[in-house]
Amino acid sequence: MSSTGIEEIVVRCGWLNKDPLYITYHDEEWGKPERDSFRLFEMLCLEGQQAGLSWITILKKRENYKKAFFKFNPQKISKMTSKDLSKLITNPNIVRHKGKIEAIINNSKCFLSMQENGEDFSNFIWSFVNHEPIVNNWKHHKEIPTQSSESVALSKALKMRGFKYVGSTITYAFMQACGLVNDHIVDCISRRN
């Protein structure tokens, strides 16, 4: 109830369910501009794990992924061996998909290769939106696309650098999550223009 005695209606994006973890993620993280290269790397890896699954599935396993992959430290991940891979494939706390697990290890090497070539990951990622978030004005979550010309371009550029599990739908979800694209519906309490 508000101070006027009238119950306030809180509007959030329609894709959200009532899980408190999901609500916190939506309200405090999704769509907020992230510019830290290591956090962007983490989110790109997690979005790749989502392929064919719901985001809440990955979100619930996020802490387990952090434990399994050294808090997404690319240096440490890049040193993982086939023995490590075998252990991860049997880890019930993450998605046990060999290709997806291999992608995280592969992508850590690609991330480091970019660094070695003087290419800042955050600057690279944000260059696809001219370093400013794209703010959309959707009235309903069903209007929101699953990819854009920017996500197609980002996907191609990442693949050229050797990244895996970075198709244009995955990169669009990544762009939404990291605030490169603001796809909160216009009435959402988490939307900031």
Joined tokens for residue 184: 């909160």
The question of whether 119 is a catalytic residue gets the answer no
Joined tokens for residue 186: 């216009």
The residue from 22, 30, 42, 47 that is catalytic is 47
The residue from 15, 25, 29, 102 that is catalytic is 25
Q: What stretches of 55-148 show up as alpha helix (H) in DSSP?
A: 55-68, 74-78, 82-89, 98-116, 121-126
The question of whether 30 is a catalytic residue gets the answer no
The question of whether 22 is a catalytic residue gets the answer no
Q: Taken in order 10, 16, 18, 21, is the CA torsion positive or negative?
A: negative
The residue from 15, 29, 55, 102 that is catalytic is 55
Q: Would you say 22 and 56 are in contact if contact means Cβ atoms under 8 Å apart?
A: yes
Q: Could you give the residue numbers annotated as active site?
A: 25, 47, 55
